[in-house]
């Protein structure tokens, strides 16, 4: 079993799509550990604010199987893949970490957004503060402590999971 972490985000009908995405992940992969939900401004484009969180779980799935499953969940929840790379999303689920592995295909792991985006790093640091990034050698808690928080403000959301 490999411990994996995913980022989950939405800025279109956010509560509904986050709730549906997490439910679909549970159906596919079983028990999930979830971070708090955070709201942040859109990064890289003008758009409505996002809700974001990180989920962690253990799996026997290969990276290829995970990426295929995640894309299928996004598609079932109205993800549109045409248009600009940075744009509004009904549901965006990205594989962040696959154990301590480092690879470039089927996606780049560890995901570069971990070191670049507060909306990924903070919830990851919340779930796995003492885990070590396979490239930086730093814990996620230490990485969050050093992050320029003023550059990408975000705030926790009292999310109703019912």
pLDDT number for residue 82: 67
Closest residue by Cα to residue 106 from 55, 69, 158, 153: 69
- Helix, strand, or coil (residue 114): helix
**In the chain, which stretches have pLDDT less than 70?**
45, 78-87
At residue 43, the pLDDT reads: 77
Question: What is the rounded distance in angstroms from the CA atom of residue 134 to the CA atom of residue 83?
Answer: 33
Residues 62-97 pLDDT 10s: 999 999 999 999 878 766 656 656 557 789 999 999
Q: Which domain holds residue 119?
A: 2-157
**Cα-trace Rg, the chain:** 15
Q: Is residue 162 part of a domain?
A: no
pLDDT the model gives residue 45: 66
For residue 53 the two structure tokens come to 């969180």
**CA-to-CA dists, residue 34 to 4, 45, 68, 76, 146, angstroms:** 12, 27, 21, 21, 23
Q: How far is it, in rounded angstroms, from Cα 103 to Cα 105?
A: 6
pLDDT of residue 44: 72
pLDDT of residue 81: 54
Tell me the CATH number at 125: 3.30.70.560
The predicted pLDDT at position 80 comes to 64
Q: 37-40 and 92-98 as β-strands: parallel, antiparallel, unpaired?
A: unpaired
pLDDT given at position 47: 81
Q: Quick count: other Cβ atoms within 10 Å of Cβ 78?
A: 14
Q: How many domains does the chain have?
A: 1
Nearest to 4 by CA among 65, 51, 66: 66
């Amino acid at each position: 079993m490999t411990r994996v972490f995913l980022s989950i985000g939405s800025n279109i009908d956010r509560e509904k799509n986050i709730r549906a995405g997490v439910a679909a992940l549970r159906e596919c992969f079983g028990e999930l550990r979830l971070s708090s939900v955070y709201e942040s401004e859109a990064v890289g484009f003008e758009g409505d604010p996002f809700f974001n969180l990180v989920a962690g779980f253990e799996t026997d799935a290969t990276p290829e199987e995970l990426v295929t499953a995640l894309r299928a969940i996004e598609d079932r929840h109205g993800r549109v893949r045409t248009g600009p790379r940075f744009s509004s999303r009904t549901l965006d689920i990205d594989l962040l970490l696959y154990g301590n592995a480092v690879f470039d295909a089927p996606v780049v792991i560890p995901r570069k957004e971990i070191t670049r985006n507060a909306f990924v790093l903070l919830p990851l640091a919340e779930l796995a503060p003492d885990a070590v990034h396979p490239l930086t050698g730093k814990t996620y808690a230490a990485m969050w402590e050093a992050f320029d928080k003023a550059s990408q403000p975000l705030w926790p959301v009292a999310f109703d999971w019912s």
